Chains A and B, each alone.
Chain A
């Protein structure tokens, strides 16, 4: 039986040739950005000791920030979450971010403690 009470949202996602050209341009720009960021990460990973001796913490945080930049572009452009309605973006990202920040916090806190306990008693 054909149902007429379901809105087919997918039919509305179509776009024209001209819009397609613009979207493809964005895709290639993001590709370039991801490739450059990855190249920077690899070069930094292989040569940071020669380039920035002793600056491990700075290098580490650079890695983390660059990773988050890459993740943002993948989620927002490639997975089209940036093109969806704001409420679904919040629905996907906020509970996840909240839970994850808590988990990261608790893991760092507890592993610090375990590390000190082992240093002391082993």
Chain B
């Protein structure tokens, strides 16, 4: 971009007082300082997750095995849903930067169009996250532990988790020790009487996730999932609210009268930051 930041100004004048040596407005600079502090918070959370995971001596759940469901569809689609969420957030980041660009041309209609699409993208992302949380909490069958300590995965055709033993297609699959999730493909199915006996003798039935137990792995896994994606989701939500307020102000012509659309730029910085954080959450929570 052109403007003040690219002008050649001699060092004496730049640092001589009476102007910002950074050639940046107060509001934008404060937004950057806030984003740095917020980035430190998210780094702290992700590094804490890395610490716990690296220090853990047992098996840790694998992203592509935990997150493999799609709404309205049966079957397994590893990481497809998270990829879709990532795409939605990246594209709403693109519409935001286009709104900022339109603002620099004082193109009010352009700003309204792109900012509106950004708000829609943000709402889609928050909605997707709600579905993902719901799926994570309700689980996909869960497992039982028998008195001798062995784990058996619970399966049935309707994914009934209230009374799985009486749902059609009920069977159990013995879990591989040290491995989380769904045993091997084509593993031996325990059906009929044998399955019923194991079900009735169960010590516990873990299904889905809460703050103390979950079917995916150690309790910290679900705790970090809730905290990190929840904290990020709250950022997305506040970003949507901020973008919506700025959109209303653009429509009322506040910034046109002011002579510049820097407010869109500042809200944009926050929105891009939310996207930036998701890039890291995506890698370190779902992929690695």
Q: How far is the CB of B144 from chain A (nearest CB, A)?
A: 25
Total residue contacts A-B, CB cutoff 8 A? 184
> Whose C-beta in chain A lies nearest to the C-beta of B86?
A38
The answer to whether A14 touches B23, judged by C-beta atoms less than 8 angstroms apart, is no
B132 interface residue (CB < 8 Å to A): no
The residues of B that contact A111 with a CB separation of less than 8 Å are 50-52, 54-55
Name B's A-contacting residues (CB within 8 A). 1-6, 18-25, 28-29, 32, 36, 39-40, 43-44, 47-48, 50-52, 54-57, 63-64, 78-80, 82-83, 86-87, 90-91, 93-94, 96-98, 100-102, 104-106, 259-260, 262, 265, 268-269, 272-273, 275-276, 279-280, 282-283, 286-288
Inter-chain contact B3/A108, CB cutoff 8 Å: no
- Within the complex, the shortest CB–CB distance from B6 to chain A, in Å, comes to 7
Q: Are B22 and A42 in contact (CB under 8 A)?
A: no
- By a CB distance below 8 angstroms, the chain A residues around B28 are 9-10
Q: Are A38 and B64 in contact (CB under 8 A)?
A: no
In the complex, are the beta carbons of B288 and A12 less than 8 A apart? no
Query: Which single residue of chain B is at the shortest CB-CB distance from A120?
Result: B57
Is the pair B105, A14 in contact by a Cβ cutoff of 8 Å? yes
Any B CB within 8 A of the CB of A3: no
Q: State whether B24 touches A80 (Cβ < 8 A).
A: no
Select from chain A the residue with minimum beta-carbon distance to B27: A10
Dominant SS among interface residues on chain A: helix
As a 0/1 sequence over residues 77 to 114 of chain A, the CB contacts with chain B under 8 angstroms (1 = contact) are 11110011101100110011001100110011011101
Residues A10 and B5 in contact in the complex (CB < 8 Å), given A71-B276, A115-B55: no
| A38 x B3 contact (CB < 8 A) | no
Shortest CB distance B133–A (Å): 20
12 interchain pairs (CB within 8 A)?
A: A5-B18, A9-B25, A14-B104, A23-B1, A27-B94, A38-B83, A41-B287, A42-B80, A80-B100, A99-B40, A107-B51, A111-B52
A110 proximity list for chain B (CB < 8 A): 51, 55
* A78-B1 contact given A64-B283, A91-B22, A99-B40, CB 8 Å threshold: no
Give A58-71 as 1s and 0s: 1 = Cβ < 8 Å from B's Cβ atoms: 00100110110011
**What residues of B have a CB within 8 angstroms of the CB of A19 in the complex?**
1-2
CA distance A77 to B23 in the complex (A): 18
Which chain B residue has the least Cβ–Cβ distance from A93? B36
Q: Are A115 and B56 in contact (CB under 8 A)?
A: yes
One digit per residue, 1 when the CB lies within 8 angstroms of any chain B CB and 0 when it does not, for chain A 1-45 equals: 000010111111111110110011001100100110011011011
Is there an interface contact between B101 and A13, defined as CB atoms closer than 8 Å? no
Measured in the bound complex, the distance between the Cα atoms of B96 and A48 in whole Å is 34
Tell me whether B64 and A103 are in contact (CB under 8 A).
Answer: no
Nearest 7 A/B pairs, CB to CB: A10-B262, A111-B54, A114-B55, A88-B22, A111-B55, A10-B260, A12-B4
Contact assessment for B6 and A83 in the assembled complex, using a CB-CB cutoff below 8 Å: yes
